[in-house]
């Protein structure tokens, strides 16, 4: 079947060689103008010198990168730390759910996935705001527990690292479950049964068969969630305090308050390099084509 199919494709390809290029043209034009070129504009902005009053001029000034790292080392490290920790916690929390839906969801798989996506009908800011509301020091939860003397009066959660990482985890849940589900769903159930037939214990089957086979989903989810969370500023702004400032907050500050565009562009470029490294590693391990399957 594949032989005839590929021959047919080749024949069609000969007749309409230009078709794929014409079909790709609108997207390519748009994404070049408003995704690729802006990245270049950002890089060139990061190499500019000047000040907010006279404006900035491009000048191969790499010094901003050194200054960014030395001035904001705390926030950069914190962002990577928060990003890595929140992504790992999300993986551990969501893997069993994705596993359960993929293996035991039966006819109701679609319904379960729908329920997982249900919170998306509420804006991301408002979901985060709702957590601020729930975790408030004198809110209906902690305030009541304090009145009942179950919690000490000075107990708090908002403005803490725990609250920010909790918010990052909550907001990443669906982005991790979906790629995990896709990977687990693909596993041929006969392979799992074969492991059992060969007297592998359920635990051994999981560690030696299921977990390795779901690796593409684990990495795809990690890539999506980690990069997003490193760059987030909303959770830190809504749930955090002065001690939880992330690099996203610093980028915002430099663009809109300090109007130090080169610094803001430099910090964003550092995040972009992180993304490129992650994508490169992923493409080397699993291939470029597979990358998309897990993306949406």
Site for other proteins in 160-219 (CB under 8 A): 170, 173-174, 185-186, 188-190, 192-193, 202
d(CA 89, CA 93): 6
d(CA 230, CA 227): 5
155 binds other proteins (CB under 8 A): no
| The one segment of 65-73, 150-158, 211-219, 246-254 that binds other proteins by CB under 8 A | 246-254
CB of 115 to other proteins, least distance (A): 5
User: Of 78-117, which residues contact other proteins (CB under 8 A)?
Assistant: 93-94, 96-97, 99-101, 103-106, 110, 112, 114-116
CB of 182 to other proteins, least distance (A): 10
What residues contact residue 80 under an 8 Å CB cut-off, 6+ apart? 230
User: Of 29-88, which residues contact other proteins (CB under 8 A)?
Assistant: 30-31, 34-39, 41-42, 44-45
DSSP string, 165-221: HHHHHHHHHHHHHHHHHHHHHHS-HHHHHHHHHTT--HHHHIIIIIHHHTHHHHHHH
Interface with other proteins (CB under 8 A), residue from 160, 161, 271, 286: 271
284 binds other proteins (CB under 8 A): no
How many residues touch other proteins (CB under 8 A)?
A: 108
CB of 168 to other proteins, least distance (A): 13
| Beta partners for residue 50, in sequence order | 56
CB of 118 to other proteins, least distance (A): 6
Question: Phi/psi at 125 (nearest 5 deg)?
Answer: -65, -40
Residue 93 in tokens: 């929390």
24 binds other proteins (CB under 8 A): yes
Tally of CA atoms within 13 A in the half-sphere of 272 that contains its CB: 16
């Amino acid at each position: 079947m594949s032989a005839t199919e590929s021959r047919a494709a080749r024949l069609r390809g000969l007749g309409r060689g230009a078709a794929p290029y014409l079909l790709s043209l609108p997207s390519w034009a748009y994404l070049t103008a408003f995704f690729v070129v802006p990245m270049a504009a950002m890089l060139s902005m990061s190499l500019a010198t000047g000040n907010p009053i006279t404006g900035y001029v491009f000048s191969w000034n790499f010094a901003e990168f050194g200054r960014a790292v030395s001035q904001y080392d705390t926030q950069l490290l914190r962002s990577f730390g928060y990003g890595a920790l929140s992504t790992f916690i999300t993986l551990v929390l969501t893997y069993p759910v994705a596993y359960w839906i993929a293996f035991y969801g039966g006819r109701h798989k679609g319904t379960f996935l729908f329920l997982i996506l249900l919170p998306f009908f509420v804006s991301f800011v408002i979901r985060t705001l709702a957590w601020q509301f729930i975790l408030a020091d004198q809110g209906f939860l902690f305030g009541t527990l304090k009145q009942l003397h179950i919690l000490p009066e000075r107990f708090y959660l908002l403005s803490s690292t725990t609250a920010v990482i909790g918010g990052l985890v909550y907001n990443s849940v669906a982005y991790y479950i979906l790629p995990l589900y896709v990977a687990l769903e693909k596993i041929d159930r006969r392979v799992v049964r074969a492991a059992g037939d060969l007297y592998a214990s359920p635990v051994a089957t999981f560690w030696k068969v299921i977990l390795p086979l779901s690796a593409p989903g684990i990495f795809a989810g990690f890539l999506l969630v980690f990069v997003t969370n490193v760059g987030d500023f909303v959770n830190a702004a809504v749930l955090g305090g002065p001690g939880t400032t992330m690099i996203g907050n610093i980028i915002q500050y430099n663009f809109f308050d300090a109007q130090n565009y080169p610094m803001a562009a430099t910090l964003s470029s550092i995040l972009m390099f992180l993304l490129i490294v992650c994508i490169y590693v992923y493409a080397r391990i699993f291939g470029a084509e597979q990358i998309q399957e897990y993306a949406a």
